[in-house]
């Protein structure tokens, strides 16, 4: 250290406290990075890597970015999963004795970034904290730093269950204590989720204290608040008390089910289009869009609350003109939640406060419109709206109508708000008028029409005369100040006096205005909670209006709920598929699950619509429990507590899991957590292994669900042998998606009918897919042969599968190398290896066996 310059030593001391972050070290107009930070950042940001003398014999690697454009670079680093510590000069270099004092004023992390081009204002950006309560039980707290919204819940299950909930919430960063860090580090790194460790003493705070939060759960809240205070180093007064989400009060949808059902993200390209969120998002505000996503992720599971929402949607559908009026007013309301966050963290500009004021102007109008409604429920809703009169009064009197974006150049405060500021403004305004008058007088006195009075920061105000007119000037009154190529610049005693008046008025006025603005902004912090509460109610109204708009547009109906478990949907439709295709071509299907017959075994060819049918049932349940009307002619539903799906096939290459392993893990999770009030959707279980393995697993699972769980279940399969189970399982019914042959080709009717399918039409589907005719003809020939000799796999005795480990019994008949390979195979844990690692192992064994022959 002693070999480095004092400034580099200072850098090392600060960097030692933020080893896991890029340190943006402020030097004048640049943020500089040194050593490894510089080498890595130059590659990531594609900026020039240079070097500088730091006192040692070798040059120090260095790169930097201008401070005024640093936000884009910071955002790039954070988006890639890095943290950035912002180190500012905290004293004036002109008055500093020795090295300028520098301190880290903020740490930007993937979970705490609140602004930028990659931040979607219509989505919550959560950072979470997890704490293990006991074996198989975790507390998960999470906060959207931009809005201050905080929630906490208990997650029951293993590590995979916790990760699934984290993924479902779209978190980019999780904070844990040391005991969980080791357990989760591998899993999080494979999923591009930053795992941060917080070992500081947990801080108490109002937002982590609530009578509704169990004591053991609040530890996760405190850990998260401690981390946020340590990294943000600013006021977090906008953080609201954590809302404790009880599992019994919501419909739980795990990450796999959200993905399979395409609730907020398309499976095909990860976009919003083609999702339930895309269908329902007719919201007028960003906070309404976030509320909608929240309701999709956590629909209600309380019959009374669901029916309350449905009744409000019903009233809004009937009050068409009122609905149109409310939507128009909400479109002029800004994002009050994010504005509250900026005010609390001291980032709000004059324009932000103007947006808050303009939004509050609409609240009395919204309130009055609801109160004038003919519907009692809407009148009651209006009583929940707080106009925040005190806040509006302060902003109306203080903030200019159209303030600039900058807060240090004036123009933010209204005339008449502060007497001294008005005096400065008057002096500045009149001084400029005097300068214009002086310019006219000097032109008349000298006869020089091109004479002008100008200003620059170096010389102040000056009189400029072109060289061709200098002979007309009164050089006894004029004092030369600067010579240019084509002109001379002069000053006079009168001009200097006016300059002092104007410049002092402008600088002191600007400084006073900034002070006044900060005072107003700080005053707003006292009212943040009221504004946030108002924002929550307005966002709720926004979503209810969106539900009513969508329900009317797409002919949705109001669902009924009952206390039992039966489900009856008449002519239901998949709302997203229907929107994306010609409505006249969509074939609706009914679904009935009775109390004594609540399992459907669905057969039918590929492409016939089995998966769509299953998904539309799940979407109907989700939409209904969100409080939205549903796509059918009639729906009478139970209150469902959880939805589990196993639809589609996808390898998890990141963790080395095959399609079949993923299928089994998701099935195990569903069966292990489902209750009698859950909805289970299983699509072609067992297709990832041999026929008999798959069929046996499928049947065993169906029997277990039937006998042990009793949940409403839709189970599709290509194993026609399973259709015989309806004779053994009294609550199981067979249905099929109809298809027919026409001139040798299959025609899908997309209609769900009672009974089992008579054939699979697999070859016909292959023909539709464009497989060469020669293959199709040969397949038909082979099928006829199999059927004629009754040698289909279903009628053959199950061949015993060879075990890797049976070779051990005959190890005496093979050489030592083979014995060694067999031993290695037995000891290798293939399930915890990536596909590439497994392939390398197999190649190694193959090479060893070749050598021994």
703 by Cβ neighbours in 10 Å (0-12 / 13-18 / 19+) ranks as: middle
Task: Name the residue among 690, 698, 692, 641 with its Cα closest to residue 664.
Answer: 698
Structure tokens at 318: 């009937």
Angle between helix axes 493-525 and 528-553 (nearest 10 degrees) is 70
Is 607 annotated among the ligand-binding residues? yes
Partners of 638 in the β-ladder: 562
Angle between helix axes 350-371 and 528-553 (nearest 10 degrees) is 60
Structure tokens at 673: 């957590």
Is 611 annotated among the ligand-binding residues? yes
Give ∠ CA 547-548-551 in degrees, rounded to 5: 80
Q: Tokens 């409505």 correspond to what residue?
A: 583
Strands 560-562, 634-638: pairing is parallel
- For residue 748, the SS3 value is strand
For 772, the enclosing helix (H) or strand (E) is none
Is 402 annotated among the ligand-binding residues? no
Residues in the chain: 853
Output b/e per residue, 11-38; b: 16+ Cβ within 10 A: beeebeebeebbbbbbbeebbbbbbebb
Is 97 annotated among the ligand-binding residues? no
CA distance 190 to 372: 55
For every residue of 519-557, DSSP letters joined together read: HHHHHHHTTHHHHHHHHHHHHHHHHHHHHHHHHHHTT-B
Is 712 annotated among the ligand-binding residues? no
Is 604 annotated among the ligand-binding residues? yes
CA distance 294 to 250: 11
CA distance 44 to 823: 46
Cα→Cα distances 394→338, 416, 523, Å: 20, 13, 9
Longest dimension (CA), the chain: 125
Task: Name the residue among 142, 524, 605, 496 with its Cα closest to residue 345.
Answer: 524
Cα→Cα distances 587→581, 615, 631, 737, 748, Å: 11, 14, 12, 11, 11
Q: How many CA atoms lie within 13 A of 230 on its CB side?
A: 18
Known binding-site residue numbers for ATP: 604-611
Known binding-site residue numbers: 604-611
């Amino acid at each position: 250290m002693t070999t480095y310059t004092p400034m580099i030593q200072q850098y090392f001391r600060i960097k030692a406290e933020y080893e896991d972050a890029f340190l943006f070290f402020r030097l004048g107009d640049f943020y500089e990075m040194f050593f490894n930070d510089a080498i890595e950042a130059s590659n990531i940001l594609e900026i020039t890597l240079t070097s500088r003398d730091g006192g040692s014999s070798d040059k120090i690697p260095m790169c930097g970015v201008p401070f005024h454009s640093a936000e884009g670079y910071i955002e790039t680093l954070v988006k890639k999963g890095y943290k950035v510590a912002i180190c500012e000069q905290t004293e004036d270099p002109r008055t500093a004795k020795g090295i300028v004092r520098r301190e880290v004023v903020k740490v930007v992390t993937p979970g705490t970034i609140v602004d930028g081009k990659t931040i979607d204002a219509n989505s919550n950006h959560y950072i979470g904290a997890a704490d293990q309560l006991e074996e198989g039980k975790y507390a998960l707290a999470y906060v959207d730093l931009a809005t201050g919204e905080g929630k906490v819940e208990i997650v029951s299950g293993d590590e995979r269950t916790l990760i699934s909930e984290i993924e479902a919430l779209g978190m980019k960063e999780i904070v844990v204590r040391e005991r969980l860090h080791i357990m989760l580090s591998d899993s999080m790194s494979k999923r591009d989720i930053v795992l941060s460790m917080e070992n500081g003493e947990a801080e108490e705070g109002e937002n982590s204290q609530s009578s509704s939060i169990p004591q053991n759960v609040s530890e996760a809240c405190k850990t998260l608040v401690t981390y946020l205070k340590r990294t943000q180093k600013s006021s977090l007064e906008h953080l609201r008390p954590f809302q404790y989400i009880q599992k019994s009060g919501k419909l739980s949808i795990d990450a796999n089910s959200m993905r399979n059902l395409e609730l907020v993200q398309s499976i095909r390209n990860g976009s919003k289009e083609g999702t339930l969120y895309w269908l329902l998002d007719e919201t007028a505000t960003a906070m309404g869009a976030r509320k909608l996503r929240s309701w999709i992720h956590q629909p209600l599971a309380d019959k009374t609350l669901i029916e309350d929402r449905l009744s409000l949607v019903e009233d809004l559908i009937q009050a068409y003109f009122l609905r149109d009026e409310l939507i128009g007013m909400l479109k002029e309301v800004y994002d009050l939640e994010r504005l509250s966050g900026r005010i609390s963290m001291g980032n709000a500009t004059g324009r932000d406060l103007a947006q808050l004021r303009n939004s509050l102007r609409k609240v009395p109008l919204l309130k009055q419109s609801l109160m004038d409604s003919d519907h009692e429920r809407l009148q009651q809703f209006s009583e929940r709206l707080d106009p925040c009169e005190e806040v509006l009064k302060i902003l109306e009197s203080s903030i200019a109508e159209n303030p600039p974006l900058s807060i240090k150049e004036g123009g933010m405060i209204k005339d008449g708000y502060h007497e001294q500021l008005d005096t400065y403004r008057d002096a500045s305004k009149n001084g400029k008028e005097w300068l214009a008058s002086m310019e006219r007088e000097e032109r008349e006195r000298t006869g020089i029409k091109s004479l002008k009075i100008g200003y620059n920061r170096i010389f102040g105000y000056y009189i400029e005369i072109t060289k061709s007119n200098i002979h007309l000037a009164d050089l006894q009154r004029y004092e030369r100040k600067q010579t240019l190529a084509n002109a001379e610049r002069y000053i006079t005693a009168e001009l200097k006096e006016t300059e002092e008046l104007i410049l002092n008025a402008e600088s002191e006025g600007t400084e006073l205005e900034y002070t006044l603005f900060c005072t107003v902004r700080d005053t707003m912090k006292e009212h943040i909670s009221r504004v946030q509460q108002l924002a929550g109610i307005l966002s709720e109204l926004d979503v209810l209006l969106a539900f009513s708009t969508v329900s009317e547009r797409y002919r949705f109906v109001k669902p009924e709920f009952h206390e039992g478990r039966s489900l009856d949907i008449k002519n239901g439709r998949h709302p997203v598929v229907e929107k994306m295709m010609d409505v006249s071509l969509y074939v609706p299907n009914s679904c009935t699950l009775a109390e004594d017959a609540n399992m459907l075994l669905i057969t039918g060819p590929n492409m016939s619509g089995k998966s769509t049918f299953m998904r539309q049932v799940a979407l109907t349940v989700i939409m209904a429990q969100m409080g939205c009307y549903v796509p059918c002619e009639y729906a009478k539903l139970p209150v469902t507590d959880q939805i589990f799906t196993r639809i589609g096939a996808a390898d998890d290459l990141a963790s080395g899991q095959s399609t079949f392993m993923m299928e089994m893990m998701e099935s195990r999770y569903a069966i292990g957590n489902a209750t009698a009030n859950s909805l289970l959707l299983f699509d072609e279980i067992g297709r990832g292994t041999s026929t008999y393995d798959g069929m046996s697993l499928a049947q065993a699972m169906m029997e277990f669900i039937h006998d042990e769980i009793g949940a409403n279940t839709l189970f599709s399969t290509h194993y026609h042998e399973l259709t015989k189970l309806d004779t053994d399982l009294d609550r199981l019914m067979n249905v099929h998606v109809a298809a027919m042959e026409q001139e040798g080709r299959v025609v899908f009717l997309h209609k769900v009918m009672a009974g089992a399918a008579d054939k699979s039409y697999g070859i016909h589907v292959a023909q539709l897919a464009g497989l060469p005719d020669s293959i199709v003809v040969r397949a038909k020939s082979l099928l006829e042969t199999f059927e004629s000799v009754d040698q289909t796999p279903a009628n053959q005795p199950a061949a015993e599968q060879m075990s890797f480990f049976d070779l051990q019994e005959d190890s005496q008949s093979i050489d030592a190398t083979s014995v060694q390979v067999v031993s290695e195979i037995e000891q290798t844990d293939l399930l915890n290896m990536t596909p590439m690692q497994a392939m390398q192992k197999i190649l190694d064994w193959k090479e060893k066996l070749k050598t021994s022959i």
